[in-house]
Protein backbone atom coordinates (compact mmCIF):
# COMPACT_ATOMS: atom_id res chain seq x y z
CA UNK A 1 0.00 0.00 0.00
CA UNK A 2 1.39 3.40 -0.97
CA UNK A 3 2.03 6.05 1.68
CA UNK A 4 0.40 9.45 1.07
CA UNK A 5 2.70 12.08 -0.43
CA UNK A 6 4.21 14.55 2.01
CA UNK A 7 5.80 17.97 1.88
CA UNK A 8 8.06 19.89 4.23
CA UNK A 9 6.59 22.97 5.91
CA UNK A 10 9.81 24.75 6.71
CA UNK A 11 10.39 22.76 9.91
CA UNK A 12 13.28 20.36 10.20
CA UNK A 13 12.05 16.76 9.91
CA UNK A 14 8.39 17.93 9.91
CA UNK A 15 6.13 16.59 7.14
CA UNK A 16 2.38 16.63 6.56
CA UNK A 17 0.12 15.06 3.91
CA UNK A 18 -0.81 17.42 1.09
CA UNK A 19 -3.64 15.45 -0.50
CA UNK A 20 -5.00 11.97 -1.05
CA UNK A 21 -4.31 9.31 -3.61
CA UNK A 22 -6.87 8.84 -6.32
CA UNK A 23 -6.57 5.04 -6.25
CA UNK A 24 -4.34 2.39 -7.84
CA UNK A 25 -5.82 2.77 -11.29
CA UNK A 26 -5.47 6.51 -11.63
CA UNK A 27 -2.03 6.68 -10.03
CA UNK A 28 -2.47 10.41 -9.66
CA UNK A 29 -2.72 12.86 -6.80
CA UNK A 30 -6.15 14.35 -6.10
CA UNK A 31 -5.82 17.87 -4.66
CA UNK A 32 -9.48 18.33 -3.77
CA UNK A 33 -8.78 17.46 -0.14
CA UNK A 34 -6.14 20.16 0.25
CA UNK A 35 -7.38 23.13 2.25
CA UNK A 36 -6.61 26.57 0.78
CA UNK A 37 -5.43 27.72 4.19
CA UNK A 38 -2.64 25.14 4.07
CA UNK A 39 -1.36 26.72 0.89
CA UNK A 40 -1.33 30.12 2.54
CA UNK A 41 0.49 28.78 5.61
CA UNK A 42 3.03 26.99 3.44
CA UNK A 43 3.82 30.18 1.55
CA UNK A 44 4.47 32.06 4.79
CA UNK A 45 6.63 29.50 6.56
CA UNK A 46 10.44 29.64 6.78
CA UNK A 47 12.25 28.01 3.90
CA UNK A 48 9.45 28.63 1.42
CA UNK A 49 9.62 31.38 -1.18
CA UNK A 50 6.60 33.70 -1.04
CA UNK A 51 5.11 34.90 -4.26
CA UNK A 52 6.32 38.17 -5.73
CA UNK A 53 2.94 39.79 -5.20
CA UNK A 54 2.76 38.55 -1.59
CA UNK A 55 6.22 39.88 -0.80
CA UNK A 56 5.32 43.23 -2.33
CA UNK A 57 2.20 43.52 -0.17
CA UNK A 58 4.16 42.71 2.98
CA UNK A 59 7.15 44.95 2.36
CA UNK A 60 6.00 47.81 0.11
CA UNK A 61 4.70 50.67 2.23
CA UNK A 62 3.07 52.16 -0.84
CA UNK A 63 0.82 49.13 -1.35
CA UNK A 64 -2.94 49.60 -0.77
CA UNK A 65 -3.94 49.44 2.87
CA UNK A 66 -0.52 50.43 4.21
CA UNK A 67 0.74 53.74 5.48
CA UNK A 68 3.98 55.50 4.68
CA UNK A 69 6.70 54.61 7.18
CA UNK A 70 9.59 56.88 8.03
CA UNK A 71 13.00 55.54 9.00
CA UNK A 72 14.54 57.23 12.03
CA UNK A 73 17.90 58.06 13.53
CA UNK A 74 18.19 57.54 17.29
CA UNK A 75 21.54 58.16 18.91
CA UNK A 76 24.13 56.37 16.79
CA UNK A 77 21.55 54.11 15.14
CA UNK A 78 20.41 55.09 11.65
CA UNK A 79 17.67 53.82 9.31
CA UNK A 80 15.67 52.15 12.08
CA UNK A 81 11.92 51.65 12.17
CA UNK A 82 9.61 51.14 15.15
CA UNK A 83 7.37 48.11 14.55
CA UNK A 84 4.06 47.99 16.38
CA UNK A 85 2.46 44.72 17.51
CA UNK A 86 -1.30 44.13 17.90
CA UNK A 87 -0.62 42.68 21.37
CA UNK A 88 0.31 45.70 23.46
CA UNK A 89 0.80 46.75 27.05
CA UNK A 90 -2.94 46.90 27.76
CA UNK A 91 -3.47 43.32 26.56
CA UNK A 92 -0.52 42.05 28.58
CA UNK A 93 -1.75 43.83 31.71
CA UNK A 94 -5.19 42.25 31.32
CA UNK A 95 -3.56 38.84 31.00
CA UNK A 96 -1.52 39.37 34.18
CA UNK A 97 -4.29 41.26 36.02
CA UNK A 98 -1.90 43.99 37.11
CA UNK A 99 -0.40 47.18 35.74
CA UNK A 100 3.21 47.32 34.68
CA UNK A 101 5.33 49.77 36.63
CA UNK A 102 8.85 50.50 37.87
CA UNK A 103 9.53 50.67 41.60
CA UNK A 104 12.87 52.45 41.87
CA UNK A 105 14.46 51.95 45.30
CA UNK A 106 17.29 54.40 45.99
CA UNK A 107 19.46 54.97 49.05
CA UNK A 108 22.94 54.64 50.46
CA UNK A 109 24.94 51.45 50.34
CA UNK A 110 23.85 49.34 53.30
CA UNK A 111 20.45 51.01 53.61
CA UNK A 112 18.67 47.74 52.80
CA UNK A 113 17.65 48.25 49.16
CA UNK A 114 18.26 44.67 48.05
CA UNK A 115 16.64 43.29 51.19
CA UNK A 116 13.57 45.42 50.61
CA UNK A 117 13.42 44.47 46.92
CA UNK A 118 13.40 40.76 47.77
CA UNK A 119 10.83 41.19 50.54
CA UNK A 120 8.57 43.19 48.23
CA UNK A 121 8.92 40.66 45.41
CA UNK A 122 8.10 37.81 47.79
CA UNK A 123 5.00 39.50 49.23
CA UNK A 124 3.67 40.40 45.78
CA UNK A 125 4.37 36.87 44.55
CA UNK A 126 2.31 35.44 47.42
CA UNK A 127 -0.53 37.70 46.30
CA UNK A 128 -0.36 36.40 42.73
CA UNK A 129 1.57 39.24 41.08
CA UNK A 130 4.47 38.88 38.67
CA UNK A 131 7.61 40.88 39.51
CA UNK A 132 11.23 41.06 38.49
CA UNK A 133 14.17 42.58 40.38
CA UNK A 134 16.96 44.56 38.74
CA UNK A 135 19.58 44.67 41.48
CA UNK A 136 22.51 47.06 41.16
CA UNK A 137 25.15 44.39 41.80
CA UNK A 138 23.37 41.67 39.82
CA UNK A 139 23.18 43.62 36.57
CA UNK A 140 26.93 44.23 36.77
CA UNK A 141 27.45 40.47 36.51
CA UNK A 142 26.09 40.50 32.97
CA UNK A 143 24.40 43.43 31.23
CA UNK A 144 26.73 46.05 32.73
CA UNK A 145 29.85 43.99 33.27
CA UNK A 146 31.75 46.32 30.92
CA UNK A 147 31.18 49.35 33.16
CA UNK A 148 33.38 50.66 35.96
CA UNK A 149 32.44 52.91 38.88
CA UNK A 150 33.69 56.19 37.46
CA UNK A 151 31.18 58.98 36.94
CA UNK A 152 30.52 58.35 33.25
CA UNK A 153 30.09 54.60 33.64
CA UNK A 154 27.86 54.96 36.68
CA UNK A 155 25.58 57.23 34.67
CA UNK A 156 25.49 54.68 31.83
CA UNK A 157 24.77 51.93 34.36
CA UNK A 158 21.66 53.80 35.53
CA UNK A 159 20.56 54.57 31.97
CA UNK A 160 20.74 50.93 30.92
CA UNK A 161 18.86 49.73 33.97
CA UNK A 162 16.21 52.38 33.32
CA UNK A 163 15.75 51.18 29.74
CA UNK A 164 15.46 47.54 30.81
CA UNK A 165 13.04 48.47 33.60
CA UNK A 166 10.94 50.32 31.03
CA UNK A 167 10.73 47.15 28.92
CA UNK A 168 9.64 45.08 31.92
CA UNK A 169 6.93 47.63 32.75
CA UNK A 170 5.76 47.57 29.14
CA UNK A 171 5.56 43.77 29.42
CA UNK A 172 3.09 44.28 32.27
CA UNK A 173 5.46 43.28 35.09
CA UNK A 174 6.08 45.07 38.35
CA UNK A 175 9.78 45.80 37.97
CA UNK A 176 11.74 46.50 41.16
CA UNK A 177 15.03 48.33 40.57
CA UNK A 178 17.31 48.61 43.60
CA UNK A 179 20.35 50.80 43.06
CA UNK A 180 22.18 53.53 44.96
CA UNK A 181 21.56 55.84 41.97
CA UNK A 182 22.93 58.84 43.89
CA UNK A 183 22.10 61.67 41.46
CA UNK A 184 18.68 63.20 40.90
CA UNK A 185 19.41 63.94 37.26
CA UNK A 186 19.89 60.27 36.43
CA UNK A 187 16.85 59.12 38.42
CA UNK A 188 14.72 61.82 36.79
CA UNK A 189 15.95 60.68 33.38
CA UNK A 190 14.73 57.16 34.15
CA UNK A 191 11.38 58.56 35.26
CA UNK A 192 11.10 60.46 31.98
CA UNK A 193 11.44 57.20 30.03
CA UNK A 194 7.95 56.18 31.13
CA UNK A 195 5.09 58.04 29.53
CA UNK A 196 2.70 57.84 32.49
CA UNK A 197 2.80 57.73 36.28
CA UNK A 198 4.20 54.20 36.41
CA UNK A 199 7.59 55.25 37.84
CA UNK A 200 7.45 54.96 41.63
CA UNK A 201 10.51 56.31 43.41
CA UNK A 202 11.14 54.85 46.87
CA UNK A 203 13.69 56.63 49.04
CA UNK A 204 15.15 54.35 51.69
CA UNK A 205 16.14 57.18 54.04
CA UNK A 206 18.48 55.43 56.44
CA UNK A 207 21.19 57.62 58.08
CA UNK A 208 24.78 57.24 56.93
CA UNK A 209 25.96 56.20 60.40
CA UNK A 210 23.49 53.31 60.44
CA UNK A 211 24.50 52.16 56.96
CA UNK A 212 28.19 52.41 57.84
CA UNK A 213 27.68 50.47 61.05
CA UNK A 214 26.04 47.69 59.05
CA UNK A 215 28.64 47.76 56.24
CA UNK A 216 27.46 44.35 54.91
CA UNK A 217 30.09 44.21 52.15
CA UNK A 218 32.89 45.97 54.03
CA UNK A 219 32.92 48.80 51.49
CA UNK A 220 32.74 51.67 53.97
CA UNK A 221 35.81 50.33 55.73
CA UNK A 222 37.69 50.19 52.43
CA UNK A 223 36.51 53.68 51.47
CA UNK A 224 37.59 55.15 54.84
CA UNK A 225 40.98 53.52 54.34
CA UNK A 226 41.30 55.18 50.92
CA UNK A 227 41.22 51.88 49.06
CA UNK A 228 37.99 52.79 47.24
CA UNK A 229 37.66 56.22 45.63
CA UNK A 230 34.41 58.00 44.83
CA UNK A 231 32.32 56.00 47.29
CA UNK A 232 28.84 57.43 47.84
CA UNK A 233 28.45 58.90 51.31
CA UNK A 234 32.18 59.05 51.99
CA UNK A 235 33.95 61.02 49.24
CA UNK A 236 31.08 61.23 46.75
CA UNK A 237 27.70 62.88 47.41
CA UNK A 238 24.23 61.37 47.58
CA UNK A 239 21.39 63.62 46.40
CA UNK A 240 18.21 62.79 48.27
CA UNK A 241 14.98 62.73 46.23
CA UNK A 242 12.89 65.89 46.36
CA UNK A 243 9.56 64.57 45.13
CA UNK A 244 9.56 60.80 45.49
CA UNK A 245 6.36 58.80 45.91
CA UNK A 246 7.41 56.86 49.02
CA UNK A 247 9.86 57.60 51.84
CA UNK A 248 10.86 54.82 54.23
CA UNK A 249 12.73 55.83 57.36
CA UNK A 250 13.41 54.99 60.98
CA UNK A 251 10.65 55.24 63.54
CA UNK A 252 11.71 56.09 67.10
CA UNK A 253 15.28 55.33 66.14
CA UNK A 254 14.44 51.87 64.81
CA UNK A 255 14.39 50.69 61.21
CA UNK A 256 11.16 49.02 60.05
CA UNK A 257 11.29 45.32 59.23
CA UNK A 258 11.58 44.26 55.58
CA UNK A 259 8.00 42.99 55.67
CA UNK A 260 6.72 46.29 57.08
CA UNK A 261 8.58 48.22 54.38
CA UNK A 262 7.18 45.94 51.70
CA UNK A 263 3.65 46.40 53.04
CA UNK A 264 4.06 50.18 52.84
CA UNK A 265 4.85 49.93 49.12
CA UNK A 266 2.12 47.37 48.46
CA UNK A 267 -0.40 49.69 50.11
CA UNK A 268 0.64 52.44 47.69
CA UNK A 269 0.36 50.09 44.70
CA UNK A 270 -3.09 48.94 45.77
CA UNK A 271 -4.43 52.45 46.36
CA UNK A 272 -3.17 53.60 42.98
CA UNK A 273 -4.62 50.71 40.99
CA UNK A 274 -1.44 48.85 40.06
CA UNK A 275 -2.60 45.52 41.46
CA UNK A 276 -5.51 45.13 39.09
CA UNK A 277 -6.09 45.72 35.38
* CA distance readout (Å), 238 to 172, 203, 241, 245: 31, 12, 9, 18
Q: How far apart are CA 260 and CA 264, in angstroms?
A: 6
Q: How far apart are CA 162 and CA 160, in angstroms?
A: 5
Residues in the chain: 277
Residue 195 annotated among the catalytic residues of the structure: no
**Tens-digit pLDDT string for the chain (277 aa):** 445 444 444 444 444 444 444 444 444 444 444 444 444 444 444 444 444 444 344 444 444 444 567 899 988 899 998 888 889 999 999 999 999 999 999 999 999 999 999 999 999 999 999 999 999 999 999 999 999 999 999 999 999 999 999 999 999 999 999 999 999 999 999 999 998 899 999 999 999 999 999 999 999 999 999 999 999 999 999 999 999 999 999 999 899 999 999 999 999 999 999 999 8
* Its pTM surpasses 0.85: no
- Using an 8 Å Cβ cutoff, are 159 and 215 in contact? no
Return the domain boundaries, the chain.
1-83, 89-271
Please compute, for residue 4, the number of CA atoms within 13 A of its CA located in the half-sphere on the CB side. 14
CATH of domain 89-271: 3.40.50.300
Catalytic residue among 114, 178, 181, 198: 181
Distance of CA 255 to the CA centre of its chain: 31
Q: Which tens digits make up the pLDDT trace of 206-260?
A: 999 999 999 999 999 999 999 999 999 999 999 999 999 999 999 998 999 999 9
Amino acid sequence: MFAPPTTKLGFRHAVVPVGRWGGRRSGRLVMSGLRPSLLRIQAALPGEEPSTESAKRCCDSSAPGTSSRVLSTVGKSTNILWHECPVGKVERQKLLRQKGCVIWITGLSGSGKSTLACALSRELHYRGHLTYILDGDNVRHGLNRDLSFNGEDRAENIRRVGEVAKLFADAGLICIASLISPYRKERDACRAMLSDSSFIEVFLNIPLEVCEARDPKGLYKLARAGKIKGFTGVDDPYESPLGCEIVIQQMDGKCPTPKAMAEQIISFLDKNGFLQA
